[in-house]
Structure 1
Amino acid sequence: MFIRNTWYVACTRDELHALGDKPLGRTICNEKMAIFKGPDGKVAAVEDFCPHRGAPLSLGRVCQGHLQCGYHGLQMGVDGRTVSMPGQRVRGFPAIKAFAAIERYGFVWVWPGDQDQANPDRMPVFEFLDHPDWAYGGGLYHVQADYRLMIDNLMDLTHETYVHAGSIGQPEIDEAPCETRVEGDRVITQRFMQGIQAPPFWQMAMRAQGLDPQATVDRWQICRFSPPSHIMIDVGVALAGHGGFDAPADKKTYSVVVDFITPETESSHWYHWGMARNFKPEDTDLTERIRQGQGRIFNEDMQMLQLQQENLSRSPERKLLMLGIDAGGVQSRRVIERLLAQEHHGAGA
């Protein structure tokens, strides 16, 4: 169900830093982890299990780069080996799991699978994150639903007309055809709308860009899935007749919707969402307004997905129907299934 030999977002850099000397407990692909900063200041992740009495190490604290259990004071190193314990000889304790971890793009990434295969060179590249010409704001939702339902949701934006009617939805989304193609392990679904009125969210963005929010626009949505479960969505509007997606910068407003979907269990996931833009990156108030608006939009998705998961869990025997608009999600799932099969074949070998 989960691709394990890959990098997943575990948390944001700020989320970990805000804890001070406390570790962060998080479950990723059914692996319970305690995430903290080691003695060299680099991020580390170990199994959230004290080898003494099984207490969660995430309930302890970090002491000079070692993770101290909050039960009896045992200290654990970044390699999963016991360092010390007051008044006790514990050097012979068996090591617990240690997970490769790296800090990049403002996030902490972990590798839950075979640690011998963990390679920083296999980290995805997102040139717009940590770039001075771009601004980014986002948040985190803990969603009680299969992570693949979120992929389905983001690779078919037809639902915007109904779920997000008061912000980014409009009837023209239903009326515009969408096209889906597969390029290796990537899936791209795109939709272009011409000569329409911008919905409320994009009217706000046009106003911030100095464009007339009532002007007729061309709108685009380009959803890009890449394994294990990242989706980047190019979205925006341009004054009608100026080239749409390819319009000059002063004739459009556009962003990249950033979606990092990290499986927790078979029926829950961590959803790091955000929006990156390359206009007015210095305007922190605009970043916060966009972040709040986007947060409300994604909260509507979360409610729908969690209730959808409840229905599916009650009726696992029911076969779901597929339509043309589902192509992006279907193809993304096929990529996941193919990579899972390759991973399992490699493990068997």
Structure 2
Amino acid sequence: MTAFLRNQWYVACTADELGDKPLARRICNQKLVFYRTAAGQACALEDFCPHRGAPLSLGQVEGDLLVCGYHGLRVTCNGDVHSLPNQRVDRFPCVRRYAVVERGGFVWVWPGPAEQADEALLPHLAWADNPDWGYGGGLYHIRCDYRLMIDNLMDLTHETYVHADSIGQLEIEEAPVHTSVRGNEVITERHMADVTAPPFWQMALRENGLDPEARVDRWQICRFTPPSHVMIEVGVALAGRGGYDADHADKVSSIVVDFITPETDTSIWYFWGMARTFRPASAELTEKIREGQGKIFAEDLEMLEQQQQNLLEFPERPLMTVKIDAGGAQSRRVLQNLLAQEGPALEC
């Protein structure tokens, strides 16, 4: 049984997923239902009606109340049982409430005790609600352990093989990798000097008015933070102009956004996207990048799901670890330490 950090914020859904109907979502092996009140406030409750155990997500929203679709029991955003047609409810237990915050276009949930939720732990999204940045993304449901996705994102060597037609190139596996740990943040970076830009970055150079055939300096800086967020600074600059520190006019760069929300032991909700500073107002470019990035991540999806099946089928097989695995290994070590600090799960 996989252990999940509970006293952390996870992305539950995008803001536009949460409309006028309840949304069911399992997170960290817990069944939740999300809905909006009449004023637009996002709420989260356990997806369990205390009357007969029906999923509250099969009901509907009436004003500020969530109405069970089985017998009409009504509960408030705080989980208090409000009413049941022609019946007394004064002895009904409350429905468990989860702390929720809406920020940066996402609805975040705290799976641990709501009273312990700390908004200061929400990640800072420099690109959110900022006109100097453009952003587009999507959501994939992937049948794999969430730690396999962290491994994948903290070691981009696989791009040479899995994404050979878009962002992969041989220089990725040839360039040295440096991994460091700063508190609970794990950073893995790779810099490639004087290389040919792969197809995706040729497109980005062209869109920024730069020569797509020019030699470039390329960088990949992966940053893991608990519980399961990975932000990746990526980009290319005209060779010899300073690489990562090059002037804005000589480079194209972006942040690959990866919010990994465990669903079960072997499945995740994967919220992906790309934030960029070149031509941020272009909706056409945002859609072009979103479509291309979606295809790239679909290639990861197939690999990760097949990897998970192999690990389930051959649980006794030892896996080998080499230098390029340091980012994922250190990230797992951070998770293990934090899980040990939290201790066993308590009833909330």
Q: Same fold (TM over 0.5)?
A: yes
Shift of 1:39: 4.3
Q: What is the CA–CA distance in structure 2 between the aligned matches of 1:278 and 1:254, rounded to whole Å?
A: 7
Cα deviation code 1:254-284 (max 9, x no counterpart): 1000000001111111100000001211100
1:203 counterpart residue number: 202
2:253 counterpart residue number: 254
2:73 counterpart residue number: 74
Q: How many residues align?
A: 345
Shift of 1:337: 0.3
Is the CA contact (8 Å cut-off) linking 1:223 and 1:233 kept in structure 2? yes
2:284 counterpart residue number: 285
Shift of 1:318: 1.3
Q: What is the CA–CA distance in structure 2 between the aligned matches of 1:293 and 1:217, rounded to whole Å?
A: 21
Unaligned runs of 5+ in 2: none
Q: What is the CA–CA distance in structure 2 between the aligned matches of 1:85 and 1:131, rounded to whole Å?
A: 45
Q: What is the CA–CA distance in structure 1 between the aligned matches of 2:241 and 2:338, rounded to whole Å?
A: 41
2:216 counterpart residue number: 217
Shift of 1:346: 9.7
Q: What is the CA–CA distance in structure 2 between the aligned matches of 1:15 and 1:270, rounded to whole Å?
A: 13
Deviating beyond 3 angstroms after TM superposition, the runs of 4 or more aligned structure 1 residues are 345-348
2:242 counterpart residue number: 243
2:322 counterpart residue number: 323
Q: 1:303 corresponds to which letter in structure 2? A: E
Cα deviation code 1:199-237 (max 9, x no counterpart): 001111111001110000000000000000100000000
Q: 1:59 corresponds to which letter in structure 2? A: L
2:275 counterpart residue number: 276
Paired residue secondary structure (2:102): strand
Q: What is the CA–CA distance in structure 2 between the aligned matches of 1:221 and 1:120, rounded to whole Å?
A: 29
Q: 1:6 corresponds to which letter in structure 2? A: Q
Cα deviation code 1:101-147 (max 9, x no counterpart): 01000000000012221122221211112211111100000110000
Q: Does residue 264 of structure 1 match 2:266?
A: no
2:13 counterpart residue number: 11
1:60 counterpart residue number: 59
Unaligned runs of 5+ in 1: none
Q: What is the CA–CA distance in structure 1 between the aligned matches of 2:31 and 2:344, rounded to whole Å?
A: 25
Shift of 1:246: 0.4
What is the percent sequence identity of the aligned residues? Answer: 61
Is the CA contact (8 Å cut-off) linking 1:41 and 1:65 kept in structure 2? no
> For structure 1, which segment, 39-48 or 313-322, has the greater mean C-alpha deviation from structure 2 after superposition?
39-48
Q: How does 1:1-349 map onto structure 2 within 5 Å?
A: 1-17=3-19, 20=20, 22-344=21-343
